[in-house]
Structure 1
Amino acid sequence: MSQSARIKIAKRIAQELSDGEIVNLGVGIPTLIPDYLGDKKVYLQSENGLLGMGPTPEPQQVNMDLISASKKPITMEIGASLFDSSDSFVMIRGGHIDVAVLGILQVDEFGEIANWSVPGKDVLGVGGAMDLVAGAKKIILASTHQAKDGSPKLVKKLTYPTSGGKKANMLVTEHAVFTFSNKGVELVEILSDISLEELQKITGANFTISQELIRN
């Protein structure tokens, strides 16, 4: 995926965040979001022990003692606080994270997430994935529409190990925005010049189309 497509996803998710929210950003595309928040006062939490993460520093200002959980250089907003990683997970497990923005390997048509293990691979990537899935009040997924092998990431049924029973609220890809409910997945916005027919071909689950999108 091109960097411009990744930035498009990050910008679209930034629109979903509201002043005063405590937001945890996962690895990959979510790490771009701090640069596109504009004037919003969002409190970005990093699971390695920081509340008040700021935008990406300029190259000459990089301090590798100040990094996110994704090992990316970061800045700190005025009033930011540093604390032990165990306290960070108390925040997550205690339900104090308003929004978690996560990458995925797969998500099913009802919003169940797989984002920590690929069957047959020796190295697992658990990190804080399961804690965030269980503890965050709202989950937004940031992902390419397809995996590197061309397989869809939005699928009818997971074939990778689940990250937990709690469901995602929204998925944003380079092509579209979807929301999830107990009725299934709904297409609410198209972000590229792709047709509905083309979108369905590269999506592994059937989706309904929101009435607002139909009217427009």
Structure 2
Amino acid sequence: MRIVCISDTHSMHRQIEVPDGDLLIHAGDCLGVGTLEELEDLDQWFSELPHRHKILIAGNHDWCFQDEPAEARALVQHAHYLQDSPLELGGLKFWGSPWTPVFFNWAFNLERGPAIAERWDRIPEDTDVLITHGPPAGILDRIILPTGTVRPGCDDLARKVETLSLRLHVFGHIHEDHGQQLIGDCLYVNASTCTGSYKPLNLPVVVDL
């Protein structure tokens, strides 16, 4: 299965060139300010793409999925929307989750520790492909500031993925550390499309599983 990974398009999806593949994964922050109107345009864009399947999760900018969940989910007609939920495609088991540690009171924020760990505990042990909005701590989560490097990834998520036999973990959120890293048998992909200056310049990541 050829999987094309994007994230953090912030309603600039029509400015990017998406390679063909069997499955398109969008790992959240698909919207700019998080309105239903933006989501409607995103779903129309999904309908125009050739990929047989699409998977979408929410991110911290995607307010309508948190504040108007029924209306938002109803608008997603051309992708599988996952929120702490599974999907099986082509013999692969997927799990998607939008949560990130508290950061300036954005959408889908939870406190580090038991609150967010409880969400990660829901991930089934037989998951092949995990899609979260944010990265696990220490993996493609670097932000380089004048005062030094910070890593805001989730420690609780890092502890959880160590217990799983994942083949692929796709996320975004930290625009500055776009790329991929192979650790053991799992390929970790930070698929952030936008750069740290919110320009949609990072290329989609293509993975063959």
Please, what TM-score do these two structures have when normalized by structure 1? 0.37
Query: Structure with the greater relative contact order (CA < 8 A, sep ≥ 6): 1 or 2?
Result: 2
With normalisation by structure 2, the TM-score equals 0.38
> Computing the radius of gyration over CA atoms, which structure comes out larger, 1 or 2?
1
